[in-house]
Amino acid sequence: MPIVTIQQFPRPLEQKRELARRITEAFVEVYGAKEDSVQVFFSEIDGEGWAKGGVMGCDKTDK
């Protein structure tokens, strides 16, 4: 049972649907997995849930 976890910034539902469909297709094609055995988990992180270079995402300013 393949399980894929994706950590990302929030995305529209339609994009997540498409990505889950394509990931599932890849596991079916490459691994021969059954379509209904592939699970995709989306973990969406906002600017208060991550940091880069010691600076919180919500505190970053684009230059």
- Model confidence pLDDT, tens digit, residues 11-62: 999 999 999 999 999 999 999 999 999 999 999 999 899 999 999 999 988 6
Question: How confident is the model at residue 60, as a pLDDT?
Answer: 83
Question: What pLDDT is attached to residue 40?
Answer: 98
The label of the residue with tokens 């208060």 reads: 48
HSE of 59, CA atoms in CB hemisphere, 13 A: 8
Return phi, psi of residue 53, to 5°: 65, 30
Helix (H, G, I), strand (E, B) or coil at 41: strand
Is the CB of residue 23 less than 8 Å from the CB of residue 40? yes
At 43 the pLDDT is 97
Specify the pLDDT at position 5.
98
Q: pLDDT band for 63, please (50, 70, 90 cuts).
A: low
**Measured between alpha carbons, how far apart are the two ends of the chain, in Å?**
44
